[in-house]
Every structure is written in structure tokens, then in C-alpha cells.
Structure 1
Amino acid sequence: MDLSFVFFISSGLFLGWSLGANDAANIFGTAVGSRMLRFSTAALICSVFVVLGAVIDGAGAARTLGSLGGINQIAGAFATALAAALSVFMLVRIGLTASTTQAIVGAIVGWNFFTDSVTDTDTLLTILATWVLCPLLAGLFAVLLSKAVEVGLRRFQPHLLTQDSWTRLALIVTGAFGAYTLGANNIANVMGVFIAVSPFQDLDISSVRVSSTQQLFLLGSLAIAVGVYTYSKGVMLTVGCKLLQVSPVSAWIIVVAHSLVLFLFASQTLERQLINWGLPSIPLVPVSSTQAIVGAVIGIGLLKGGHSVNWRLVGRIGCGWVATPVVAALICTLCLFVLQNLLHLSVAKPQRYVISEAVMDQLQAQGLNTSVLQPLQDIEYSSAQTLVTSAERSLSLSNEKRQTLLHFSYLGDFFLNAHKIGNLDRQWFSQAQWQALNAIAGQRFEYRWQLEEALAVQTLAWQQKPDIPANKYFNQDLQQKLSHLYRIFES
């Protein structure tokens, strides 16, 4: 392994530390603030289950942010993670909560801006919408759970000591689950930008296969654990004590409401069931656990009349949420400028877009008016934004058509390296898809759509299904897999 990778990955470890220092408050802040758990106990449980969640279930969440920006150079990944870490750290430093999800999204948008890449606005708007919906849902769940628990306690009337022991146990169990999901979902924010440039190789330890991605996530989760132990106590008290004085039962309700929101936006099973019922599906996008926990706390406070909520602190936290992605984008742009222009490091692979005759046929099949694109044929464009600007001089493009144009005209070098195929997450791909990948191992493609066609020829498992609600989940999953392959196999 190149020792320079240790330096570059340090920004991801810093981001992991910041996440641990900040987001442990989302899991155990109310328990510590209500004095149901000692900080040392909460930190131990949180650290252990964060590591387990990241290593065991972190691979799925790591693919979510890929559609926003295809970071393909180690220096670019370093700058993106560093910008997110610095923006989170600044808010943690003054005792406020911040969102690593917002920070990494802002940093990726900053990378797109600096490298002249086009941001998928549909994906970005979906993520932005969840930033509003997430705290609202958490508050609603907290109110409903509070009412249900109140009815239950009134009916069964347990002894105070019994109720206290049940609540303490519930806080531990719920906190352990919350920490596990925190590791599984948020390790993508910490190490996701490094997956495509990681030098780690798969290891076989006593017949147990540890993938290169799992090794990367283990490092990131250990950094989170260090952050929990060294710097999370102050933020725990901000969420669990200063924002609103809560009872032990309310502390448990808040953590459950927070976990339910994360489940809604992360459950592929729930999404598939909603689609099968013909109902609108909930977008599977990364949501902020910080926003969820604060929303739940405010929900409990409003149920009690709203007088006990520290609204001034709520306003400061809200300002932090707005500032985080903006600051992260600005810091990322500055870091990229320094790395590229002062240190002469490559922060992004050169981009090439060429509308060849074969590409014209593909675009026409996708419904684009290719007659007006004839003047652009066989011209090489050095950035996505340059091609889009040229095309929009004679053709109005929706976001979907803009992404189609960029997808089919991107000229790269996609080599199906057998070793990289072996490092893919086999649990994510079906047996037929896995066999098709191995069947074309060693082949090289210039365009993404050529790789798609080569896989589709091998099996129906790599072919898009008709665009009807019953096929929505399959097609979305297929596009995620293909996008992952583009990043992994581009030379």
C-alpha cells in the first residue's frame, strides 16, 4: 500500500472523529441528559455497535451518494472529506449539533463545481426535501409514541422502580440498535468517497473473507469510536439537557422516534412493499440523524406546550444546519484549489465527452432530438458543463435529458479487471449478474453504454424492465449497480 494513502485518508478519519463527537449525542444524548446512563457506559455501547454496524452493514449505504459526484482521485477524496470534517468540527467546537450528511453533500457539490461536473439536480432536490421532512416526521412520531406510552402507563400502572428499570433497559437496547444503524448508514459519509480509490486488498482470515471496503470501514468506524470517547459528552448534554429537560421515558421515546425515521429512509424492504401496493415510495437517501433527534426533542416539547423548549438554541442549531453544506462546499473548493494549483496534485481525472455517430444513435433511441446536435458531433469536450452549455444553445434540456446526454457521450476507459470483480460485494449482486461480470472479465470499453450492452447480452438480470410501478425497485437497484461499476472499473 502506498504510504501517501495514509496521509490522504487522514481527512476521512478526521471526519469519522467529528461524526463520533457529534452524532453519539443523537443516540445517547437524551439518556445521559436524563441521568439514566453514565457517559462512560453510553460511550462503550455506542462505540462497539457503531463498529459492528459499519463493518457488517455499511456497504449498502455507501452507494447512496455516488450519483451526486463521481470522485475519482485520492486528492479529491481527501479534500472532500476534509471540508466536511472541518465544517462539522467548527459547530461541534461551539457545542452545537451538525450533520455529517449535510456536510458531505455540500462538499461533493463543491467538488462538482470546482471540477466543472454537473450535479444531478433531481437527486440533490430529493435530498434537500428530506432535510425538511426528517425533523417533521421525527417530531410527529415522538408525539404519537408519547401518547401511546401515556395510555399504556395509565392502564398498567407499573411501580416506579419497575418503570425505572424497564426504561433503563429500553434505553440501552434502543441505543445499541441506534448506534448500529448509525455505523451502517453514516460510515458512507466518512469513507464513501475513498472506496473507488482504496488500495486495500481482500483478506481471508480463518475462512472469513474481509473485503477491502470492510477494512476501509473498520478504520473509519474506529475513528468514530475515538470521537465518541474524546469529545461527545458536551454535545450529548446540549441535546439531552440544554435543548429540553426530558424525563427518562421521554428520552426513550425520542430515541425510538429518531430510529424510526432513519428506518423509513433506509429500508429497501419497505420501499419494495409500497411499490407493490401501488403507493408512492419513500426515497432511499441519506438523512441526518441530528435533524431526526432534534425534531423528536422539539415534538416532545411542543406536546408539553412548547414553553420548556430552548427556542433560542433551536434557532442557533437551525442556522448551523443551513450553514453546514454551504461552508463545506466553500472549504472544499478552497482545498481543491490549493491541492491542484499550489501542490500540483490531480484532484479529478480528466473528463472527455464525445458525441460519435454511435452515440447519436443511442441518444436518438432515448428520445433526444439529434438533428440539432449534429454540429456537436465528433468534438471532444473537456468537461460536463462545457458540453451541456453547448447543447443548450440549440436544445432545451430537462435534468433527465441532461443526464442522458452526459451518460451516453462520456468517453472513458472501462477495463473489467478480474481482481476488481473479485473485490465486489457478492451479496449485492445476484448469481446471474455475478456470472455475467466474470464472463466479460478482461474486456475494455470506451463508453458506459457499451459496458451496459455487454452485460445485458449475457443475462436478463442486467436488462432494464418495462417502466411500470412493479419494476421500479428492480430498475433503481440496477442503475445503482451500474453506477458503482462505472466508478470501480474506470482506469
Structure 2
Amino acid sequence: MEAATLIIVLVIALALFFDFTNGFHDTANAMATPIATGALKPKTAVLLAAVLNLVGAFLSTEVAQTISGGIINESEISSAIFPEIIFAGLIGAVTWNMLTWLLGLPSSSSHALFGGLIGATIVGVGATAIDFGVVLSKVILPAFIAPLTAGVIAFTATKLAYAITRRYDSKPDGRDGFRVGQIFTSSLVALAHGTNDAQKTMGIITLLLITAGFQSASNPEPQTWVVFACAITIALGTYMGGWRIIRTLGKGLTDVKPAQGFSAESSTAATILASSALGFALSTTQVASGSVIGSGLGRRGSQVRWRTAGRIMVGWVLTLPAAGAVGALAALLVVWLPVWGIIIDAVLAVVIITFLFLRSRRDSVTASNAMSEVADSGAAVKVKRNPPPTRRQRAILREEARLRAAQEAAAKKAAKSAKAAERSARGPKNGGRS
């Protein structure tokens, strides 16, 4: 019994760590565009996102109930092995989150979680334990429809924003008035992120408690302490930033102007809030990326970097199977070695996470150096524009100054000689009288 309780505690700890990575992985969804346009300072933006993620986590539990009582058929699974299966699935999700964060790819934490759980469940229990109808209707179809819908809404909103303000804005490429609006819309996105993404970890922990017999299966509603733990953890993760992905979304797809940012964030918030109300476990990352691309297409003269967009879309396609494969391998160890499998999985997870974190330190991306690439105007953060000259550059500058001084001296000497010659040609001032 003590070993079983220890495993449950370990699974809850890993689930909360996934919630933490979800927070810093998805900060970009809300705050990349207002930082890029200078509407919010970087650290202010992530603090605002953290607070609103915390608030949003308390507003809805529909998505949590989809996960805890929809995707996986608890009746098909023995409560004795299910904590280990969840643990294996979480390893797949956390590994993919950390890898895509290192690469700066705004992939879906949600699909990483679903992929890891599905892969681990199929290997550990069997395909009959997965409700593929729910997976198709509430995970896969929204993954295709939501980014497209958000992109179309953002495209239309951007067109309207530029059409309405064309005659009245003296800066047609800037539209600084939209910066104030961006503070409101980005706040909505952060709130929506809390209502959707924080629920997923709540659902996982609730599912664990149900299968372990600590909660009734007839009531998939998350317990109060679960809601508080997940809300606080995702808020802390959000405050950590996620600057690599902010850099990708803020400038990697298109140069974002205030009107575009306002339109993209409005589209993202509306799509996510609607999906949360319907219980769809949507990827806020995919919605935000679709909105940014749509807003880029909606501004005349704007250029979408399709190569970067292609990279992101490849990440979307790979997320479910890649996280599923890692979760399946972790589950395989649990099946083969019921006790040692958990230990090996835990050690491997720590090693992989530590390696990816240390690798990220070689090319550290923080609020300062991420913003220097995101905001062209430097409005988002003050950066040093001109680095100090090298020794060779200083020597060249000195030589150029010496040549200029010599040229100026020669010019003065020539002017003086010319005046002397002119006086000599006019003769004495008295006209030659003695």
C-alpha cells in the first residue's frame, strides 16, 4: 500500500511539472504579439499572463472533465497498473514539451499530453481502453478546424482594422492606438489559456484519483486542492516566460504591427473561450499560430514567413505520434519491469530534462536578447544598438580622422595663398604714389 501511495504521489508531482512546462511553453500564445509591437514590456507581459492564467483556471472545469471522464475508459483498466501508465504518458508529454521549447517551436502541450497518454495506454493496456470517438471529436478535429477558423477570423479582423483606420491614422503602418487595445486582448488570451490548458492537468490528476479509488467515477469534477495546485503551478510556469517561443511567434512568422496583434489576439481569445465552454481540449498554441498567420495575410504588404510556418506545422503533425512513441516506450518498461520500470523511467526523465535544460544554456534566450529580435523599433525593450568598435575599427577611424584633418589644413593653406596672390595682383593700396 505504501508503494502504491508513493507512486501516486510521484505521478501527481510529474503532472504538476508538466503543468509548469505548459505554462512557460505557452506564454507566447498570449504575449508574443503585444511584446513585439511594444504594447507591453516583456516582464510586465508575463506577470500579467501569470495572474490571468491563475484566474482563468478557476473559471471552468469542462475540459478537465473531458480528460478525466472521456478519452480513456477507466472500466477497461486495472487500478493497480493505471498510475504507472499515467506516469509513462506524462514522460512522453514532458519530453516533447522540453524538446520543442529548446527548438523554439510553438507546439501543442495539449497534444503532447494526449499523445503520451494514448501511446502509454495502448502499450500498457490495449487499444480498447481508448475512446477513439472522443479523441476524434474533441481532440483531432478541433486541431484542424480551430487554427483555420482563428486564421480566417484574424484575417478578416485585420482587413477591417486597416480599412476603418486608413483615413484617420497619420501612421498607416503603425496605428499606435491599437497598442492600448492589445493590452485588453492579450489579457483575454491569457485568461482563455487558463480556462483551457490548466484544466488538462486537473483532468489527469482527477483521472488518477478515480482509478486509485480516492474519488468516485460518477463525479469527474476536480477536487478543490487539485484546482488550486494546478492553477498556481501553471501561473508560476507562465511567469518564467518561454522566451524562445515568444521570439518565434513575435517575429518568426511575420512582422507584427499593433493592428495585426489586436486582431490576432481577439481571434485567439474568442476561439479558445468558445472551445472551453464546449469542453474541447484545444491547443492554444495552434490557435495562436493560426491567428498570427491570418493577421499577416490580412495586412497589405505584410509577408508571412512560410518556411517558419512549415516548421511549426510539421511540429503540430509530429506532436501526437512523437509524444505517443515516448509514452509507449516508457510504458513498455513498466510492463516488463513493474517496479524497476518506474525507477528507470523516473531516472531517464530526470536525465533527459536536465540535458535539455543544460543544452538551452549554451544559447540562452531571455527577456533582453529575445526582444532585440522581436521588436524592430526597440519599443518593447531598450537594447544597445551599436556594439563598441574593435581595435581594427578604431585604427581605421583614427586614420580617417587624420586624413580629414590633413585635407582641412591643406584647404585652409590653399585659401590663404589665394588671398595673398589676389592682394599682390591689386598692388599697393595708395595706387603707387610716394
**Where does residue 206 of structure 2 map in the other structure?**
195
Listed as ranges, the gaps of 5+ residues in structure 2 are: 216-220, 343-434
Structure 1 residue 98 corresponds to structure 2 residue 107: yes
Query: What SS class does the counterpart of residue 146 from structure 1 fall into?
Result: helix
1:130, 1:287 within 8 Å by CA — same for their partners in 2? yes
1:314 maps to 2:336: no
Check if 1:108 corresponds to 2:108. Answer: no
* Equivalent residue in structure 2 for 1:83, among 85, 92, 97: 92
Bigger shift: residues 237-246 or 126-135: 126-135
Q: Does 1:68 align with 2:77?
A: no
In structure 2, distance between residues paired with 1:200 and 1:232? 37
Say which SS state the counterpart of residue 236 (structure 1) adopts: helix
- What's the counterpart of residue 39 of structure 1? 42
1:184 matches 2:195: yes
Which residue identity is paired with 1:113? I
1:201 CA displacement: 9.2
AA aligned opposite 2:325 = L
Following the alignment from structure 2 to structure 1, what is the Cα–Cα distance between the partners of residues 117 and 73? 9
Q: Which has the higher helix share?
A: 2
Match of 1:133 among 145, 157, 169: 145
Q: How far apart, CA to CA, are the structure 2 residues paired with 1:130 and 1:295?
A: 13
Q: Displacement, 1:134? A: 1.2
Residue 285 of structure 1 deviates from its aligned partner by 1.9
Q: Deviations over 1:5-35 (max 9, x none)?
A: 4422222122112211221101111111222
Equivalent in 229, 234, 243 of residue 224 of structure 1:
234
Q: What is the number of residues matched between the two proteins?
A: 321
- The SS at the match of 1:266 is helix
The structure 1 segments of at least 4 consecutive aligned residues displaced by more than 6 Å after TM superposition are 199-202
**Corresponding residue SS for 1:267:** helix
Q: Any conservation in 1 of the 2:86–2:117 contact (CA below 8 Å)? A: no
* TM-score, with length taken from structure 2: 0.67
Asked whether the equivalents of residues 88 and 330 of structure 2 are also in contact (C-alpha less than 8 Å), the reply is yes
Give the conservation status (yes or no) of the 8 Å contact 2:154–2:295.
yes
Letter in 1 for 2:256: V
Partner of 1:124: 135
SS at 1:223 equivalent: helix
Per the alignment, residue 328 of structure 1 pairs with: 323
> Which residue number corresponds to residue 276 of structure 2?
266
Q: What's the counterpart of residue 174 of structure 1? A: 185
Rg bigger for which structure? 2
What's the counterpart of residue 31 of structure 2? 28
1:11 to 11, 14, 21: 14
Cα gap change, 1:122 to 1:192, in 2 (>3 Å): same
Shift of 1:248: 1.5
Task: Note the C-alpha offset of 1:157.
Answer: 4.6
The 8 Å contact of residues 254 and 302 in structure 2, kept in 1 or not, is answered as no
Q: Give the distance between the partners of 1:297 and 1:212, measured in 2 at CA.
A: 33
From 240, 245, 258, the equivalent of 2:250 is 240
AA aligned opposite 2:227 = F
Q: Is the 8 A contact 1:18 1:227 kept in 2?
A: yes
TM-aligned CA deviation for residue 316 of structure 1: 0.9
Q: Deviations over 1:247-271 (max 9, x none)?
A: 1221111111111221332335xxx
1:303 and 1:174 map into 2 onto residues whose CA distance is: 18
Checking the alignment, whether the CA contact within 8 Å between 1:201 and 1:212 is kept in structure 2 is no
Match of 2:161 in 1: 149
Distance in 2 of aligned mates of 1:39 and 1:246: 15
Q: Which sits farther off after the overlay, 189-198 or 148-157? A: 148-157
Please list the CA deviations of residues 72-114 of structure 1 after superposition, one character each: whole Å capped at 9, or x if unmatched. Answer: 5332222222211211211111111110121122123213312
Q: Distance in 2 between matches of 1:217 and 1:340?
A: 31
Does the 8 Å CA contact 1:58/1:217 hold for their aligned counterparts?
Answer: no
CA spacing shift, 1:178–1:81, aligned 2, 3 Å: same
- Residues 214-237 of structure 1 show CA distances to partners (whole Å, capped at 9, x for unaligned) of 322322233223322335122111
Q: Is residue 95–residue 323 contact of structure 2 (8 Å, CA) maintained in 1?
A: yes
CA deviation map 1:32-86 (0-9, x unaligned): 12222111101111111111111x2242220123322146533222222221121
Decide whether aligned partners of structure 1 residues 172 and 231 sit closer, same or farther in structure 2, where only a CA change above 3 A counts: closer
| Rounded Cα–Cα distance in structure 2 between residues aligned with 1:339 and 1:82 | 12
Distance in 2 separating the partners of 1:243 and 1:154: 24
Report if aligned partners of 2:119, 2:328 keep a CA contact under 8 Å in 1: yes
SS of the equivalent of 1:287 reads coil
Partner Cα separation in structure 2 for residue 151 and residue 345 of structure 1? 64
Compared with structure 1, are the counterparts of its residues 42 and 58 closer, same or farther at alpha carbon in structure 2 (3 Å cutoff)? same
Query: In 2, Cα distance between the equivalents of 1:168 and 1:307?
Result: 18
Question: Structure 2 vs 1, CA of residues 305 and 173 (structure 1 numbering), >3 Å: closer, same or farther?
Answer: closer
Q: Which has the higher contact order (CA 8 A, sep 6+)?
A: 2
Q: What is the distance in 2 between the residues matched to 1:81 and 1:191?
A: 13
What's the CA shift string for 1:141-199, capped at 9, x where partnerless? 01111122223324655899x963x5333222222222122111112322311113349
Per-residue deviation at 1:345? 7.9
Q: Is the 8 A contact 1:200 1:215 kept in 2?
A: no
Does structure 2 conserve the Cα–Cα contact (< 8 Å) formed by 1:88 and 1:324? no
**Percent identical across equivalent pairs?**
25
Q: 1:292 aligns with which of 280, 287, 293?
A: 287
**1:240, 1:30 → 2: CA distance?**
5
Measured in 1, the distance between the counterparts of 2:66 and 2:163 equals 39
1:327-362 deviation line (CA, Å, top 9, x unaligned): 111111111222332243899xxxxxxxxxxxxxxx
Distance in 1 between residues matched to 2:246 and 2:311, nearest whole Å: 16
User: Which whole-Å CA distance do the structure 2 matches of 1:314 and 1:154 have between them?
Assistant: 29
Query: Counterpart of 2:392?
Result: none
